[in-house]
Structures are given as structure tokens and as C-alpha cells.
Structure 1
Amino acid sequence: MFLGTHHPKLDDKGRLTLPAKFREALAGGLMVTKGQDHCLYVFPRAEFEQMARKVAEAPFTNESVRAYQRYLFAGTDEQQPDGQGRISIAAELRRYAGLTKECVVIGAINRLEIWNAERWQTYLDEHEEDYAQAREEVLPGVF
């Protein structure tokens, strides 16, 4: 399970050091893809494959489904962390997420999310009250 907030830096070669506590779970390989809200998602390979199968089962005769599938799969990069726990973030993925030197990596249960630090703070500021006011209809049966 991926939890917490971390502040690694992106180096000049576009590499990001994964938080040490997540490295074992990602040692078998990982997939980096474009996420919603202009962040990047990092899935363990097995988790991504499971999700990808579900996405692939959607009816490709639907134009919106095809567009989503194309965008998701074309924008995914397979990575293997190096001995220091670093992964290379492809230039297109860095552009999409607006990544600069200052990054934030958050745990989101089954995946990590990589954010531009300023965008993450803006996101938190914009959604803090929504979280504080969340009610039953947001997550039925949880609270």
C-alpha cells in the first residue's frame, strides 16, 4: 500500500529517486503514465496490467473509449528502478505533468502520483474544503 507525501528532486537528466519505503514494492518493474489532474501515475507492473485489462475490455466501438485507451497506452512508459532507486521520466511525461526540479510524490493506495510541487500545493489549496466537508454521498458506506 502506498501512503504519504515525499519531496524528491528531479535531476538534470530527468531522473527521480523513488522514496525508499516504496522501492521494494516497485522492484519488479513499474509503469509511468499520464494521470488525471496533470500528474503522473506510477503503478507496479502487476497493478497496471490488471487495470489495463479492464480498460482494454471496454467497447472500442465507442469513440470516447478509443480516445482514452490511445491516450493511456501511448503515454505509458515501462521503467525499472536503478540501483539507487531512480527512474527516468520521459520528456513527454515531464512536459505533461509540468515537472521541474521540485516534485512531490504521494502515495495513493495502489499507485504513486508524481506532481509538480507548485501544482500539488495549488491542488491541495483548492480541494481542502471539499475534503473537510466530504459526506456520505462522496464515499458511500465508508463513514
Structure 2
Amino acid sequence: MFLGTHSPKLDDKGRLTLPAKFRDALAGGLMLTKGQDHCLFVFPRAEFEQMARKVAEAPFTNEAVRAYQRYLFAGTDEQRPDSQGRISITPELRRYAALTKECVVIGAINRLEIWDATAWARYLEENEENYAQAREEVLPGVF
């Protein structure tokens, strides 16, 4: 399970060092892809393959399904962290997420998300009030 917030820096070659506590879970390979809200998603390879099977089961005769499949799979990059736990983020993915040197990596249960630090701060500020309301929608009557 991926949890927590970390603040690694993107180097001049477009490499990002993954938090040490996640490296074992990603050592077998990972899939880096465009996420929602202009962040990047990092899935362990097995988790991504499971999700890909579900996406592939959707009827490709549906225009929205085809568009989603194209967008998701065309923007995915398979990676294996190097000995220092670094991954290379392609220029296309860096542009999509507007990544600068200062980044934030958050755990999101079954994936990591990579955000530009300024974009993450803005997202938190804009969505803080919605957090309590979302809890009611996601987990009604639990708390």
C-alpha cells in the first residue's frame, strides 16, 4: 500500500528518485502514465496489467472507451528503477504534468502520483473544503 507525501527533486536529465519505502514494491517494474488532474500515475507493473485487462474488456465500439484506451496506453512508459531508485520521466510526461525541479510524490493506495510541487499545493488549497463532503460520498456513515 502506498501512503504518505514526499518531496523529491527532478534532476536536469528528467530523473526522479522514488521514495526508498516504495522501491521494493516497484523493483519488478512500474508503469508511468498520465493521470487525472495533470499529475502522473505510477503503478506497479502487476497492478497496471490488472487495470489494463479491465479497460480492454470495455466495448471498443464505444467512442469514449476507444478514446480512453488510446489516451491511457499511448501515454504509458514502462520503467524499472535504477540502483539508486531513479526513474526517467519522458519529456512528454513532464510537459503533461508541468513538472519542474520541485516535485511531490504522494501515495494513493494502489499507485503513486507525481505532481509539480506548486500544482500540488494549489490542488490542496482548492480542494480542502471538499474533503469533508467527499468523505460522505466515499464512506457514508463510516465516521
Map of 1:38 onto structure 2? 38
- Alignment RMSD (CA, Å): 1.1
* Deviations, residues 66-109 of structure 1 (Å, cap 9, x unaligned): 00000000000000000000000011000000001000000000
Q: Which residue of 2 aligns with 1:136?
A: 136
Measured after TM superposition, the shift of residue 135 of structure 1 is 4.7
Instruction: Output the CA distance in 2 between the equivalents of 1:60 and 1:142.
Output: 37
Which whole-Å CA distance do the structure 1 matches of 2:135 and 2:85 have between them? Answer: 39
Q: Distance in 1 between matches of 2:35 and 2:72?
A: 8
What residue in structure 1 maps to residue 10 of structure 2?
10
- Tell me the amino acid that sits aligned with residue 77 of structure 1: D
Structure 1 gap segments, 5+ residues each:
none
In 1, Cα distance between equivalents of 2:32 and 2:139? 27
CA distance in 2, matches of 1:66, 1:74: 12
Match of 1:68 in 2: 68
Code of the residue aligned with 1:115 in structure 2: it is W
Which segments of structure 1 move beyond 6 Å, counting only runs of 4 or more? Answer: none
5+ unaligned residues in a row in structure 2: which ranges? Answer: none
Q: How much has 1:16 moved relative to structure 2?
A: 0.2
